[in-house]
Amino acid sequence: MAETKFPWVEYKPEELAELIKKLYHEGKTKSEIGMILRDQYGIPSIKALTGKTLSQILEEQGIKEEIPEDLMNLIRKSVKLMEHMEQHRKDFKAKRGYELTVSKIRRLVGYYKEKGILPKEWKFTPENAKLLVK
């Protein structure tokens, strides 16, 4: 199946899984791994070659993220906005941006709790956000 779809791809699913594991241990995020595989290795679709998503491959390798990547990115953004607002107290647009970001975080946390990805007692607070980012 893989050879007929993408004849230029030289990697077998097992080799691809090892490459993904290596890139993850180098500190790359899932989205960065996908871009690297696409741009540098010529792999257009991990799922089309292996039948599994990047997250499923990492879980099989024994790697599970504590906090999902999209939620962590929003938390980083909220921390940057908090630090900005501490220095620039009159920046009301930044305050509004912070409020919208926190709202997105809370909705996403609710979704992940419902799906069982985050524990039921997990809660977002600005103090915890600073600790998570560092």
| Token representation of residue 90 | 């009159």
Per-residue b or e along 36-58, where b marks 16 or more CB atoms closer than 10 Å to that residue's CB: bbeeeeebeebeebbebebeebb
Q: Does the structural domain 69-133 have CATH classification 2.60.40.1180?
A: no
In tens, the pLDDT along 76-121 reads 999 999 999 999 999 999 999 999 999 999 999 999 999 999 999 9
Mean pLDDT over the full length of the chain: 91
The pLDDT of residue 4: 52
Does residue 75 surpass a pLDDT of 90? yes
Whether the pTM exceeds 0.85: the reply is: no
So where are the chain's domains?
A: 2-60, 69-133
Share of residues in the chain with pLDDT > 70 (%):
97
Give the C-alpha separation, 45 to 40, whole Å: 13
**Which parts of 1-117 fold into alpha helices (H)?**
2-5, 13-25, 30-39, 46-50, 54-60, 69-87, 92-115
What is the C-alpha separation between 46 and 34, in angstroms, rounded?
8
